[in-house]
Amino acid sequence: MSDLDPEEFRRLGYAVVDWVAAYRAGLGGQPVRPPVEPGSVRDRMPALPESPQPLPALLGELDRTVVPAVTHWQHPGFFGYFPANASLHSVLGDLLSGGLGVQGMLWSTSPAATEVEQSLLDGLAGALGLDPAFTWAGGGGGTIADSASSAALVALLAALHRGSGGAWRETGVDGTERVYVTAETHSSLAKAVRVAGLGARALRIVPPAPGTLAMSADALADMLAADVAAGLRPVLVCPTVGTTGTGAVDPVRAVAVAAAPHGVWVHVDAAWAGVAGLCPEHRGLLDGVEFADSFCTDAHKWLMTAFDASLLWVRDAAALPAALSITPEYLRDSATDSGAVVDYRDWQVPLGRRFRALKLWAVVHGFGLEGLRAHLRAHVALAAELESRVVAEPGFVLAAPRSLSLVCLRLAAGDGPTRALLERVNASGTALLTHTVVDGRYVIRVAIGSVATQREHVDALWDALRTGRPDGP
């Protein structure tokens, strides 16, 4: 009945490491997304065993049942959604976290879990060129949320609390609150608005500046003024740096200027693109973030860190605890009462939290900032090359300006052929692509950014695209 003893753990741990090594080494030979029928995995799952079973039997089940039915997100041919990298550095960092098995809900429940996270987020704020106001020394601070969705939700809650003059905790929302996004903003903002009890009617869709997919700051200013005049209360605006659809970049500085007169919280969602700020040549993307109230970018997308690791910085370190703290007797302790420490449970919805900072630390330690920049630059260069090919190839259309490592394309022949092309490439197993819709047209997104993706994989993708189109050579 007891847990593995250290010697068993060592032996079985080596076996699992070997299994992972073999899985990763063999990825290139697997179809990125194998064909799977709904229910087929459930049909093959064994009943829960009454007696303990040996680990190798579990590994066998994985080989037989699981591996043939997962989408291989770590595959070098993964160009869908945005790649969610689980670099092997980060996998080892996460194993250290599992080994320690600590709970970082309060500072006192594991001081290092809190302080390593604070330190890393301060360091990354510097590396990204964020305003020092977002660091702990500057009166703000960073945290690791599970996802950009959750980061947006807590930013909204802090905004609601601040916008209510502190009444929100007691009386809730009143139906006059309004939140400003664009049609390209990630759906997590609409979800946050819903979760927060505002309903879809609270969501204002700011139109794009003419000829772009980016928020019009002028239109925002007009909408804010009109809503205030109508007795409504603007609480939050979310400019996006790198939308999911096409990588469009809202003008953060101008948005912040429009928001300021009304005291509206500015939350910058840079889930995918924000990490590019590590490279000085891309730091212009973050222009104006110094005027935002909160800024989010995902380490678990392009920063090589296994999900979940969304980085959230706020300008006012008191804002999230003011909105979210609740201290029952069983969570009271002298460190918290002293006010000298940060309790990260007050920065999130869940109470418990893993030591997520270790996987992030392992990534920065193992790649170094130079290595991370090299990755970002390599992906951007590959995307630029693909963009050139698309532009030069008859029958292909660049559907939106390239944004960093995201290329959006379609066939001149129309939606049907474009969709057929995507489906043909995906069915081939050599690459995985996903789509969006731009100006009413079906568009293929090529998101380059998997840690394993090299030139040869983008070349192979281009060949598949060129030869796969209905009228292909």
- The encoded tokens of residue 63 equal 């080989």
364 binding its own copies? (CB under 8 A): yes
Least CB distance to its own copies at residue 261 (A):
25
Sole window of 10-18, 216-224, 230-238, 253-261 interacting with its own copies (rule: CB under 8 A): 10-18
C-alpha radius of gyration, the chain, whole number: 24
Residues 140-159 that bind its own copies (CB under 8 A): 146-150, 153, 157
Q: Between helices 357-392 and 455-468, what is the axis angle to 10°?
A: 40
Least CB distance to its own copies at residue 143 (A):
14
Dihedral (CA of 333, 334, 337, 338) sign: negative
Torsion angle of C-alpha atoms 62, 65, 70, 76, degrees rounded to 10: 60
Sole window of 69-77, 223-231, 284-292, 398-406 interacting with its own copies (rule: CB under 8 A): 69-77
Beta bridge partners of 141: 314
Pick between residue 55 and residue 228 the one whose CB is nearest to its own copies. 55
340 binding its own copies? (CB under 8 A): yes
Q: Between helices 357-392 and 88-100, what is the axis angle to 10°?
A: 160
Beta bridge partners of 249: 241
Among 166, 197, 261, 284, binds its own copies (CB under 8 A): 197
Site for its own copies (CB under 8 A): how many residues? 163
How many CB atoms lie under 10 A from the CB of residue 21? 11
Q: Are the CB atoms for 294 and 267 separated by under 8 Å?
A: yes
Among 160, 238, 431, 448, binds its own copies (CB under 8 A): 160
Among 29, 165, 200, 439, binds its own copies (CB under 8 A): 200
439 binding its own copies? (CB under 8 A): no
Pick between residue 226 and residue 369 the one whose CB is nearest to its own copies. 369
Among 132, 368, 414, 416, binds its own copies (CB under 8 A): 368
Residues 254-293 that bind its own copies (CB under 8 A): none
Q: Are the CB atoms for 415 and 441 separated by under 8 Å?
A: yes
- The encoded tokens of residue 76 equal 């070098």
The per-type count for the chain, helices as H runs and strands as E runs, is 15, 11
Beta bridge partners of 180: 204, 237
Query: 3-class SS at 11?
Result: helix
Phi, psi at 67, each rounded to 5°: -55, -40
Pick between residue 112 and residue 460 the one whose CB is nearest to its own copies. 112
Pick between residue 7 and residue 210 the one whose CB is nearest to its own copies. 7
Token look-up 């008191």 returns: 318
412 binding its own copies? (CB under 8 A): no
Least CB distance to its own copies at residue 278 (A):
10
370 binding its own copies? (CB under 8 A): yes
d(CA 188, CA 156): 11
- Residues in Cβ contact with 317 at an 8 Å cutoff, skipping those fewer than 6 apart: 136, 139, 140, 141, 342
81 binding its own copies? (CB under 8 A): yes
d(CA 247, CA 43): 40
Least CB distance to its own copies at residue 17 (A):
3
Pick between residue 29 and residue 394 the one whose CB is nearest to its own copies. 29
Among 248, 306, 382, 458, binds its own copies (CB under 8 A): 306
Pick between residue 291 and residue 355 the one whose CB is nearest to its own copies. 355
440 binding its own copies? (CB under 8 A): no
- Binding to its own copies by CB under 8 A, coded x per residue (else -) over 216-255, reads ----------------------------xx----------
Pick between residue 160 and residue 264 the one whose CB is nearest to its own copies. 160
Least CB distance to its own copies at residue 436 (A):
5
**Closest listed residue to residue 324, CA positions, set 196, 135, 175, 178:** 196
Among 196, 215, 258, 285, binds its own copies (CB under 8 A): 196
Alpha helices in 166-206 (DSSP H): 168-171, 187-195
Residues 82-121 that bind its own copies (CB under 8 A): 84-96, 98-103, 107-113, 115-116, 118-120
